[in-house]
Chains A and B, each alone.
Chain A
Amino acid sequence: MMTAVLIAILLATLAAAAAAMSLRNLIHSVLLLIGSWLGVAAFYLMAGAEFVAFAQLLVYVGAVSMVVLFAVLLTRRSRTDIAVSPDSVSRAWSAVFAAGAVLAVLVYGVLHSALPHSPPPRPSVTVGQLGALLTGPHSAALLVIGVVLTVAMLGGVVIASTDRPSAKEDEK
């Protein structure tokens, strides 16, 4: 019963992702990808990683989706710009073949490695334990992530802000 639900969630995620990568309408692509992120969050919940599932919801569906949608809206010149299509049929097929080759290698690796036969009892990690781990053994990584996020935010603002007039004159 639980395995059936798991398979259903994974199939839905895969279907949404595949549709997202192949549709012509950019907005529909983005919304379907957000659906696949929801599916991944549902998988995390099924696996018992509650905090990670809610973090995935908050960060991906709540924030990254907004960034992507704003970027789509700010980089089009008319409503028809939303229609995107692959460059050429040959390029699309070669990408599919390359991805298929990678998939074949990965599947071979998965099927021929010695994985544990029966799943252990469901692990559970409380938020308190995660907090203790983050501020104890992994505190250095936490501080580094803080710096990375701050730098990314500042960098994003600097890159996306409008050019100063003097720079434009140099270009001419």
Chain B
Amino acid sequence: MSETPMPLWEVFIRSHSGLPHKHCGSVHAADASMALQAARDVYTRRGESISIWVVPSNLITASDPADKDQLFEPTGSKPYRHPTFYAVPDEVGHM
């Protein structure tokens, strides 16, 4: 009996309006609706979420860890790019 493996989907959930969706794991599912349901059942059992995104894993382009130095190191020594001298007032909430 041959079995076509089901595609893998990456799951992102948002816990509050205004916050970004965060990656929380992956599910196997045959198609997008089933992936959404699987994500709801597997990753939102404890009230973690008000919104779910599922993306086929093979559509994600990821940076190569070997390129870490060339992509990310230059920014480490440029404090003038960081907005650390401005305090966001509490009333603004999640930005």
- Do A and B come from the same complex? no
A residues near B (Cβ < 8 Å) are none
B residues near A (Cβ < 8 Å) are none
